[in-house]
Amino acid sequence: MIRRYLLALLLSAASLAHAADKLKSGTFDPPRMAPQIAQKAADGKDFSLDKFRGKVVVLEFGYTSCADVCPVSLALLKQAREKLGAMGDRMQVVFVTVDPQRDTAPKLKAYLEQFDKSFVGLTGSDEQMAAIRKAYGISATKKMVDGSKTEYTMGHSSYLYFIDPQGRLRALMPFGRPADDIVHDVTLLAKGQ
Amino acid sequence: MKRRLAVIAWLLAAAVAGALAWAAFAPIRSASHDALFEIPKGTWARRMAGEKAEILPDTITLVLGVNDVLLLRNSDTVPQIFGPVLIMPGQDFRLPFEQAGEHPFACTAHASGQMTVVVKPTPPAGLQRLQWRLQSLLSRAPWRD
């Protein structure tokens, strides 16, 4: 009888430990290789996603004029990077603009530097950016501001996309999760989970 | 005879009361937290042929601590977009929820292109848990509204 209780206790402890090791993001099974992105970054350097193998890449799709979602996510990513401490270098944030017409390279670079100088920005021609969105299944819709002929907002995905050190698209985190959740998932992915 | 019947009635009443008390206060345990939705093979072809292929419900209701993981399985032969998620053929996407609330999603697997996931809090011990257990008994897949 005691053995049975001990076994049950061990099993429940094991299942708790297993639950603690799960990613908090939405996950893909089986994961596929993240579509390659290769172009000039906002800082003028050549960017190639596969150069970041060995790191956890967090992709965010957004635009610099975004009032509510993008600044919050970028601030959370900065916080997460700080909380990771020495492991912060294992996380690379890549911000992909969905508004290349307004987000010129200098504007995007200056915007990201307000959050963290290590964040990489990507902008380019409409076609280049549309190709990236298509590969990741992202849609972005332009919506004119009421009463204006020039001002607009962009509807876009607010999820964070996690690419593991092997270059696989592993997980998506919904908008608004705390920095601790990002730290949790980046840590697990960096450790090869 | 009358006394024996009275004893049986008392025993039955006690058993029912015990069962109700258990249903109202016992912690909720679930073998799996997954609420599975599968996009079957041929969905896209059927839709292209003009057929109305409603696979996913308009609303999915999940309960925290019970079935709080949305599991989407794409068994079709083409990629499917669920909100911001591109799910490749043969791929699963598991999305855990940790907070109650309403989450609207765009979804190409749905004819209307829209779906809402409602996440409810864990039913608290008492009447609400009892009601939830009774409701779950009557419904085979309680997350399908």
The model's pLDDT over A134-168, given as tens digits with 9 standing for 90+, comes to 999 888 888 899 998 889 999 888 899 999 999 99
Q: Find how far residue A7's CA is from the centre of its chain.
A: 41
Q: What's the helix, strand, coil split of chain B in %, to 5?
A: 30, 30, 40
A102, A142 contact by CB (below 8 A): no
- The answer to whether the Cβ–Cβ distance between B94 and A137 falls below 8 Å is no
- The answer to whether the Cβ–Cβ distance between B85 and A26 falls below 8 Å is yes
- The answer to whether the Cβ–Cβ distance between B86 and A26 falls below 8 Å is no
Closest partner residue to A26 (CB to CB) among B81, B88, B95 is B95
pLDDT greater at residue A10 or residue A37: A37
Q: Is B79 near chain A, with CB under 8 Å?
A: yes
Q: If we measure between CA atoms, which residue out of A141, A59, A26 comes closest to residue B82?
A: A26
How many angstroms separate the Cα of A128 from the Cα of each of A108, A132, A135, B2, B117?
A: 16, 7, 11, 88, 33
pLDDT greater at residue B62 or residue B1: B62
Determine the pLDDT at residue A88. Answer: 96
Which residue of A11, A27, A132, A182 is the best one to mutate when testing the B interface, meaning the one whose CB has the most B CBs within 10 A?
Answer: A27
Determine the pLDDT at residue A155. Answer: 85
- Return the half-sphere exposure (C-beta side, CA atoms, 13 A cut-off) of residue A38: 4
Q: Mean pLDDT score of chain B, rounded to an integer?
A: 83
- Does residue A8 have a pLDDT over 80? no
Q: If we measure between CA atoms, which residue out of A86, A90, A78 comes closest to residue A116?
A: A78
Determine the pLDDT at residue A11. Answer: 45
Distance between CA A70 and CA A175 in Å, rounded? 9
> For residue B108, what pLDDT band results from cuts at 50, 70 and 90?
low
pLDDT greater at residue B1 or residue A179: A179
Cut 0.90: pTM above it: no
How many angstroms separate the Cα of A42 from the Cα of each of A51, A61, A92, A114, B39?
A: 16, 14, 15, 14, 39
Determine the pLDDT at residue A18. Answer: 46
- Does residue A89 have a pLDDT over 70? yes
B-chain CB neighbours of A62 within 8 Å are none
Percentage, residues of chain A above pLDDT 70:
90
- Return the half-sphere exposure (C-beta side, CA atoms, 13 A cut-off) of residue A172: 24
- How does A81-119 read in b/e, with b if 16+ C-beta sit within 10 Å? bebbeeebebbbbbbbbbbbeebebebbbebbeebbeeb
Determine the pLDDT at residue A138. Answer: 85
Determine the pLDDT at residue B143. Answer: 52
Closest partner residue to A27 (CB to CB) among B88, B90, B94 is B94
Q: Which residue of B has its CA nearest to A181?
A: B98
**Across B128-139, average pLDDT:** 80
- ipTM comes to 0.77
Determine the pLDDT at residue A132. Answer: 96
Determine the pLDDT at residue A161. Answer: 96
- Does residue A17 have a pLDDT over 60? no
Specify the DSSP class assigned to residue B85. E
Specify the DSSP class assigned to residue A35. P
Q: What is the largest CA-CA distance in chain A?
A: 77
The encoded tokens of residue A128 equal 């280049």
- Does residue A52 have a pLDDT over 60? yes
> For residue A19, what pLDDT band results from cuts at 50, 70 and 90?
very low
DSSP run (H or E) holding A153: strand A152-155
Distance between CA B120 and CA B122 in Å, rounded? 7
Determine the pLDDT at residue A13. Answer: 47
What is the amino acid identity at position A45?
K
Determine the pLDDT at residue B43. Answer: 84
Q: Which residue of B has its CA nearest to A33?
A: B88
> For residue A53, what pLDDT band results from cuts at 50, 70 and 90?
very high
Using alpha carbons only, what angle is made at residue B52 by residues B71 and A133, rounded to the nearest 5 degrees? 55
> For residue B111, what pLDDT band results from cuts at 50, 70 and 90?
low
Specify the DSSP class assigned to residue B144. B
Q: Is B118 near chain A, with CB under 8 Å?
A: no
Q: Is B46 near chain A, with CB under 8 Å?
A: no
Give the end-to-end CA distance of chain B in Å, rounded to a whole number: 50
Determine the pLDDT at residue A2. Answer: 53
**Across A28-52, average pLDDT:** 96
* Four-residue CA torsion sign, A135, A136, A137, A140: negative
**Across B125-138, average pLDDT:** 82
Distance between CA A174 and CA A167 in Å, rounded? 21
Could you give the dihedral angle defined by the CA atoms of residues B18, B22, B23 and B28, in that order, rounded to the nearest 10 degrees? Answer: -170
What is the amino acid identity at position A123?
T
B-chain CB neighbours of A27 within 8 Å are 93-94
